Amino acid sequence: MALRRLCAAVVAALLAGLLTVAVSAPAQAEVQHPRQEWLRKSTAGLFLHWGMFTAPKHLNCAEWERDVTGGGWTPDYWIDEARKLGASYVVLATFHSRLGYARPWPSKIPGSCATQRDLLGELTKAGKAKGVKVILYMTDDPQWHSEQGVQMLDSKAYSDHKGEQVDLTTREGFGKYSYDLFFEVMKNYNDLAGFWIDNDNEYWERNKLYEQIRQLQPTWLLSNNNEDTPIMDTVSNEQKTGMFPSYDYPAATFTPMPRLSEACYKLPNTGDWWYDGGNHAVDTRLNTGRYITNAGASIKSLMAETPMVNGKMPAQQEAYNNFMSSWVPPIQESIQGVEGAGYMYGGMQPGFWNDGAHGVITINPKTGKQYVHVVTKPRADFVRLRDNGYRVTGVKDLRTGERMSFSQSGGHLTIQGITKWDEYDTVFSVETAGQQGFYTGVKASATSSEDGFPAANLTDGSYEKYWDANAAQPVSISLDLGRRKEAAFLAINQRESSPTHARVSFGRPEDSSRIKDYQLTASNDGRNWWHVRTGALPSARGTQFIDIGSQEARFLKLTVLNTWGGPRAPVYFKELKIDEIRVGHSYPRSVRDGGLEAEDAARSGSARSEFCEACSGTRQVTGLGGGERNAVTYRDVSVATAGTYRLQLDLTSSAASSVAVSVNGGAPVSVAVPADRADVPDPTSVAVPLTAGRNTLKVFSTGRSLGLDRISVGGLPPSNYTPKTTLTVEPHGVQWVSPGQQTVKITARLRLDADDQIDNVSLAPVLPAGWTLTGAPATRTSMRLAGLLEGTWTATSPAGQDVGSVSIPVTASFQLLSSDRKVSGSVPLRTRPADRVFVREAEDSANVFGSTGLTSCGSCSGAEKVRNIGGSPDAAVTFPNVVVPAAGAYRMFIQFTVNGPRSYFVTVNGGAPVEVKLDGVGNNTPYVAEVPVTLNAGANSIRFGNDKAGAPDLDQIAIA
C-alpha cells in the first residue's frame, strides 16, 4: 500500500511537470467535441441554488449541515425531480457567492464552509444510477463575503494551510483558494460531468486552470456564464426577460450554432435564485414556452428551482414538475435528439406566422422529420408558415395522432382545420420528400469582405463558414447563376451572433445586426441593372425570405442599405454577417391553399384571373382599380358568431394605392396599400364586422390597379397588444437647467419593428400647462415594417419662473386595425440646485458611452445609471461640454454605486488620469464622493474609465 501511494505521488509530480509545459499554448475553442455529445442530445438541465443562506438562513456551517440531514435531504429526490422535467443533468450551485460559499463535500482545504457528509458524492452516485449527469457550480466572486454581517471566508485558516498570507476577500486571493478547490474536486469525483463557472477569475486564467482541467478530466464539460470563452464547451445566457412573446428566450441570446448554449432561467415567477422562504408561483405558460422555443433554437433549458434546506421543492415548483412529467412524454421525439430548424440543420421557418401565431420548428437530423410547435395559437383554425422549399407529404398531430389536411403553394405550408389545440404547445409532425427548387453552383461576390470571411462563403453550403461585411453599409452582394435563369426568391441565413430583442443585459445594449432595409436588382451582363424590389426584413432568427416574383436574369444583386443595430450598441452596429444565401427558382405545390382564393370568387368589370408564381394556388385576380365596378365578390365568408374580425387581404401592387372592402352591402372600409410588386403578394389587414353564418364581401380599389391573391379571416389582436416599436426621444435623461425661463429642443423618432401595418400615425410632445411649443406634430398615413417617423420641436417654459420639476411626455399615437394605440417617452427637467454650476446624469444622451451600457436603477437619480465601466479603454463614459463660468478650481461630486473596492480613473480635458478609489456595499445604493478638479472657462471634457479593471457604476456628476 505504501509503495502504491509512493508511485501515485511520483506520477502526480510528473503530470504536474508535464502540465507546466503542455498548457503554455493559448486556449482554442472546441466548438464540437465527443465529450459534448450527451449534452447535444439533451433538452434540459435542473439548476439547483442551495446553500447556507437558503431559508431559514444559517451562518454556521455545522448547524446548516445538521438541519440538512435532520430535514431528510436525499439525493434521489433531486434526481427524480430533474427527470420529471425531462432534464438529463443537474447543476449544483452551493459554492455560491450569495449562499455563503458552502462546499457540499468534505474538504481538506480550509477557507469556507465544508460539510462532513459527502452530499456531492451522494448526488453524483444517485445521478449515475438513473442516467442524470451532475455538474458543479463554481464562483469567481468574493465580493459578497460579508453580506450577512458575518465573514464567510476564513483567510487565516487558508493562509495557515498554504504557509503564506492570502486574503480571500480579494479577487487574487479568492482565485488562489478556489483554484485549489477545482483540483480537489477533480481528484475525488471522477463521475462528475464538469464545472459550471460563473465568470472568470484572473488567477485561474493566468495559471491555465481550464487547460489543466482539459488534461486531467478530458471528458468533463466546461460552461461559462454570459460570455463566450473559447475553451468552454457551453455558453450560458442568464435570465433574459422582456421579449415578445415573453417566452421567446432565444430572441435575447447571441450564440450561433453549432456552439453549445444554455438558457439559464428561474422557474419561480418571483424571489431570489435560491429559496427565500416563499412558495412562489410558477408561470406554466411562460416556462413551457421557454422550454419549447429553446429546443427550437438548439439551446438547452437550464431551469433554476429553489429547494428548501431539506432539499424539497416548494409546493408550486413540485406541482410544475409533476405537470411536466405527463406533458413532456407525448412530444418527447420532437424535443429530444433534435436540432432547431430554420438554421444550419435545414427546416422550415420559425417565428411569427399567421393571425398572431408564433412557434418554432425542430428537426431530426437523422430522419429529416420536422416538428411544427405552435406555442401561441393563431386567431384562426389554420397555421400558415414558410416551407423553405420542403415538399410536404404528410402532417399529423403528434399528441393525438390525427392526420391533418394541408396544402402548399407560394412558398407556404398551410395546416388546415385545426380544432384541437394544446394549451401550451400544439405539435405537428411533418413528413417531407426533401428540399427542392434551389439552384446549386451559384457564385457570390461582394463590395466589402473582412479578411478570412470572403463572399465565397455565402454559397458554399457550409453554415460554419460565413461572410463578414467588414462594417460596411451599404454593402452589395452579387449572385451569379452562371447563365440567364428564372429566379423566384432568396433564402438568407444570417449569422445568429446577435440578439433580435433590443435590451440591456448587465448594462450592455443588445441589438440585432441583421438586415433591415434592402434593395434587389438584376442584370444579364453584370453592367446594366434593373430594379426588382425594395423592402425590409424583420429582425428575426432563422431563415428569411425575399420573394422577387418572376425574374429571368444571370445576376442578382442584394444591396443591404442598413441593419437593425444602432450606434448605442457598438458590439453589433454594422456587424452584418451571413452564413448562406440560396436562390430559389420555384415553390413546392400541392392542392389549393387554406385561404379564400380570389380566383374562386365572383369577378366583375375588368377583374381577371392571371398566373402568379409567388401567389397562393399560383393565381391572382388583377384589374382591381377605378371603383366598385372592378371587384372580387366573396358570397360565402362564414363565421360562427357575429363580431368584428381581422380580414387579411394578400395583395399585389406596383404603385401606391388603397383597397376597400364592403361587407353585406354596407359602407366600404378603406386602407392604404404601399407600392411593391405586381407579382409578389403582401398582406394588408382591415377590421370588418361580420354576422353569424354567411357574409358577402366585395373587394375593390378606388385608386390604382391592384391584384388580389387570397383573403383569410381571423380574430382581432388582443386589446393589450401594441406592435413593437422603438421610440427614441432626445435629450435622454433628467435635464438639469439653470433658474429662469428655459428653451428645450426635443427630437423624437418612431420606428416600427413589427411586421404589422399601423395607420394615422402622429408624433408630438405634450406640454405642461403654461409652456409653448414650436413645431407641428409629425404624421404619416400608414407605416409598415422598419418605417420611420421623425419630428423636432422647441418647448419654452413660462416666463418669469423656474422650471421646477416637470416632465414633457412625447407620444406616438396610431391605429391598429381601427383600434387606438400609443407609445410614449419623456423629457424630464429639473432646476439645478443653487449651489451647483453644472449637473448632468451619466445616462444623458449628450455623453459618449463607448462599450458601456445604460441600466435601470430605481434608487438612482433619474432611475438609470451607466454600468460596465472599465476593463478596457473603450469601456468609458465621457462628459463633453461640461460648462462652467470661469477658469479655476472646482469641487466635483460623483454619484455612483459599487459593491466592494473599485476605482475610476478621471481625465479632465485630456490631462493625466487621476485615480479615484471608492468603496460601498450593494449595486443599488447610491453614494457620493467629492473630487477636486481644475476646469477651463466654458466647455470642458471629463472622462471616467479604468483601462485595467472594472469601475463603479456611474449615476451623476455635479460641479460646485
pLDDT tens-digit series, residues 230-256: 899 999 999 999 899 999 999 999 999
Q: What is the pLDDT of residue 256?
A: 93
Give the pLDDT mean for 734-749: 97
Answer whether 0.75 is exceeded by the pTM: yes
- Say whether domain 443-584 belongs to CATH 1.20.1250.20: no
Quickly state the pLDDT bin for 593 (edges 50, 70, 90).
low
C-alpha cell at 236: 450560458
pLDDT in tens, 47-95: 999 999 999 999 999 999 999 999 999 999 999 999 999 999 999 999 9
Q: At what angle do helices 75-84 and 119-129 cross, to 10 degrees?
A: 40
pLDDT in tens, 684-722: 999 999 999 999 999 999 888 899 999 999 999 999 999
> Distance (Å, rounded) from C-alpha 243 to C-alpha 222?
28
Quickly state the pLDDT bin for 25 (edges 50, 70, 90).
very low
pLDDT in tens, 37-51: 999 999 999 999 999
| Buried b / exposed e along 458-476 (16+ C-beta atoms within 10 A) | bbbeebeebbbbbebbebb
pLDDT in tens, 822-875: 999 999 999 999 999 999 999 999 999 988 888 899 999 999 999 999 999 999
> Which neighbouring-strand residues pair with 386?
412
CB atoms within 10 A of CB 171: 18
Quickly state the pLDDT bin for 567 (edges 50, 70, 90).
confident
Q: What is the dihedral of CA 371, 374, 378, 384, to 10 degrees?
A: -20
Find out whether the peptide bond into 474 is cis, omega within 30 degrees of 0. yes
Q: What is the dihedral of CA 218, 221, 227, 231, to 10 degrees?
A: 10
Q: What is the pLDDT of residue 882?
A: 98
> Distance (Å, rounded) from C-alpha 545 to C-alpha 411?
9
Q: Which CATH class is domain 44-329?
A: alpha beta
For residue 339, give the nearest of 39, 774, 605, 758 by alpha carbon: 39
pLDDT in tens, 158-168: 999 999 999 99
pLDDT in tens, 140-155: 999 899 989 999 999 9
Q: What is the pLDDT of residue 9?
A: 38
- pLDDT surpassing 80 at residue 22: no
Q: What is the pLDDT of residue 14?
A: 35
> Distance (Å, rounded) from C-alpha 864 to C-alpha 842?
8
- pLDDT surpassing 60 at residue 777: yes
Q: What is the dihedral of CA 442, 448, 452, 453, to 10 degrees?
A: -50
Fold of 596-714: Jelly Rolls (2.60.120)
SS3 302: strand
Quickly state the pLDDT bin for 297 (edges 50, 70, 90).
very high
More confident residue, 568 or 499: 499
| Burial of 667 per CB tally in 10 Å (0-12, 13-18, 19+) | exposed
> Distance (Å, rounded) from C-alpha 87 to C-alpha 38?
12
Q: What is the pLDDT of residue 190?
A: 97
Q: What is the pLDDT of residue 704?
A: 83
Quickly state the pLDDT bin for 508 (edges 50, 70, 90).
low
| Buried b / exposed e along 748-786 (16+ C-beta atoms within 10 A) | bbbbbbbbbbbbebbbbbebeeebebeeebbebebbbbb
- pLDDT surpassing 80 at residue 23: no
- pLDDT surpassing 90 at residue 308: yes
Contact assessment for residue 914 and residue 906, using Cβ atoms and an 8 Å cutoff: yes
Q: Computed over its alpha carbons, how large is the radius of gyration of the chain?
A: 31
> Distance (Å, rounded) from C-alpha 757 to C-alpha 546?
19
Q: What is the pLDDT of residue 507?
A: 59
Q: What is the pLDDT of residue 591?
A: 64
For residue 435, give the nearest of 349, 522, 537, 352 by alpha carbon: 349
Give the pLDDT mean for 122-149: 95
CB atoms within 10 A of CB 639: 16
> Distance (Å, rounded) from C-alpha 113 to C-alpha 59?
10
For the chain, what is the mean pLDDT? 94
Give the pLDDT mean for 276-295: 97
Quickly state the pLDDT bin for 6 (edges 50, 70, 90).
very low
**748: amino acid identity, one letter:** A
> What residue segments make up the domains of the chain, in order of their start?
44-329, 338-435, 443-584, 596-714, 720-832, 834-960
Q: Cα–Cα distances in Å, from 502 out to 201, 212, 242, 494, 569?
A: 29, 38, 9, 17, 9
| Buried b / exposed e along 889-909 (16+ C-beta atoms within 10 A) | ebebebbbbbbbebbbbbbbe
> Distance (Å, rounded) from C-alpha 353 to C-alpha 374?
9
pLDDT in tens, 454-479: 999 999 999 999 999 999 999 999 99
CB atoms within 10 A of CB 504: 17
Give the pLDDT mean for 896-907: 94
pLDDT in tens, 541-565: 999 999 999 899 999 999 999 999 9
| Percentage of the chain modeled with pLDDT above 70 | 96
Quickly state the pLDDT bin for 12 (edges 50, 70, 90).
very low
> Distance (Å, rounded) from C-alpha 739 to C-alpha 885?
15
Q: What is the pLDDT of residue 703?
A: 86
- pLDDT surpassing 80 at residue 510: no
More confident residue, 226 or 742: 742
Give the pLDDT mean for 117-125: 98
For residue 256, give the nearest of 442, 484, 468 by alpha carbon: 468
Fold of 834-960: Jelly Rolls (2.60.120)
**408: amino acid identity, one letter:** Q
User: Is-same-fold flag (443-584; 720-832)?
Assistant: no
pLDDT in tens, 179-202: 999 999 999 999 999 999 998 999
Angle (CA) 20-25-28 rounded to 5° is 130
Quickly state the pLDDT bin for 325 (edges 50, 70, 90).
very high
Give the pLDDT mean for 173-184: 98
> Distance (Å, rounded) from C-alpha 73 to C-alpha 75?
7
Contact assessment for residue 141 and residue 199, using Cβ atoms and an 8 Å cutoff: yes
Q: What is the pLDDT of residue 912?
A: 97
| Percentage of the chain modeled with pLDDT above 90 | 90
C-alpha cell at 135: 455538474
C-alpha cell at 627: 371603383
C-alpha cell at 780: 404619416
CATH superfamily, region 720-832:
Immunoglobulins (2.60.40.10)
Quickly state the pLDDT bin for 24 (edges 50, 70, 90).
very low
Q: What is the pLDDT of residue 594?
A: 52
Architecture of the domain made up of 338-435: Sandwich (2.60)
Q: For 171, which DSSP code?
A: H
More confident residue, 350 or 900: 350
Q: What is the pLDDT of residue 27?
A: 41
> Distance (Å, rounded) from C-alpha 838 to C-alpha 884?
7
- pLDDT surpassing 90 at residue 11: no
Q: What is the pLDDT of residue 921?
A: 82
For residue 580, give the nearest of 434, 488, 467, 441 by alpha carbon: 467
> Distance (Å, rounded) from C-alpha 830 to C-alpha 834?
12
More confident residue, 6 or 208: 208
| Burial of 637 per CB tally in 10 Å (0-12, 13-18, 19+) | buried
Give the pLDDT mean for 370-385: 97
